[in-house]
Amino acid sequence: MIVLFFLFFLYFNFAYSSEFPSINGCFCEGGIITGLISDDDQLKINNEKIMIFENGRFIYAFGRKSKNFIKLDINGEIKEFSVKKKKYKVENIKGLPRNKVEPSKKEIERIFIDRNLIKKAKEIGSKKKLFGKKFILPAEGRLSGVYGSQRILNSKPRSPHAGIDIAAKEGTQVVAPSSGIIKIVSKNMFFTGNTIIMDHGLGLISIFAHLKEISIKQGEYVQQGQKIGTIGMTGRATGPHLHWGVYLEKKSVDPFALVNFELD
Ligand SMILES: [Zn+2]
């Protein structure tokens, strides 16, 4: 009986490994996965049709809140994977200028303009994969904010933190965490101050906020490790720090899921 069970187990393991591609990345909240299938394969994740890029490449982000598992369906062949849940902390930040938490009517108009620009930047740009296997941290400093924290600013509940914060001296250099094309360079956005948005391809973008100087131009191709600016405290900031956010289209990604895990 045990032998039979073992053979049965072996058979299913082989059946799966022949049908399913190898998938890289973090199966976790805030995580991202990539894999390769055939160009003409159909892929659904949790019943949602997933876009297939050139050479059969796909990419998927779990978002800040995810189910305990995902269901991958390739041409009707289904496999489930578990997704690691995260515990998010509650962060209390005090001492922000009042208008940066409760903006005036005029400032709200400005915020809408910024928000629309950022929203547009989250649409898929390059359909080619520009990022490499592993991301690096864009600045050296103290980790002063983590991904996903519930934020209470001047005692008012606000959106969760969609990135990480690295605190360092004003003027500390900021480098590209991975290769990509500079999508947006914007001076003096209401919340994010001097801001760079970089396109890593396949809908994956990085946003760098509160910069002092910006040393690249829109449309420029930048390599991993290349200097793009310096740390500042422009926009909504209580001290000099870099805010680094990553998105796959509308879903926020934990930058550490790209620094600690390899993507293909
Ligand atoms: Zn931040």
What is the structure's pLDDT at 1?
56
Residue with tokens 């409760």: 102
Report how far ligand 1's centroid is from the alpha carbon of 10 (Å).
Answer: 47
Res 14 pLDDT > 80: no
**Class at the top of the CATH hierarchy for domain 90-259:** mainly beta
Pairing of strands 90-93, 150-153: parallel
Q: What is the pLDDT of residues 27-70, one digit of tens each?
A: 999 999 999 999 889 999 999 999 999 999 999 999 999 999 99
Report how far ligand 1's centroid is from the alpha carbon of 145 (Å).
Answer: 6
Angle at CA of residue 26, ends 22 and 27, nearest 5°: 85
Report how far ligand 1's centroid is from the alpha carbon of 160 (Å).
Answer: 10
Q: What is the pLDDT of residues 246-255, one digit of tens each?
A: 999 999 999 9
Report how far ligand 1's centroid is from the alpha carbon of 162 (Å).
Answer: 7
Q: Structure pTM?
A: 0.90
Q: Which among 147, 170, 172 has a CA at the least distance from the CA of 160?
A: 147
Q: Which residues of 78-93 are buried (b: 16+ CB within 10 A; e: fewer)?
A: eeeeebeebebeebeb
Domain limits, the chain: 2-82, 90-259
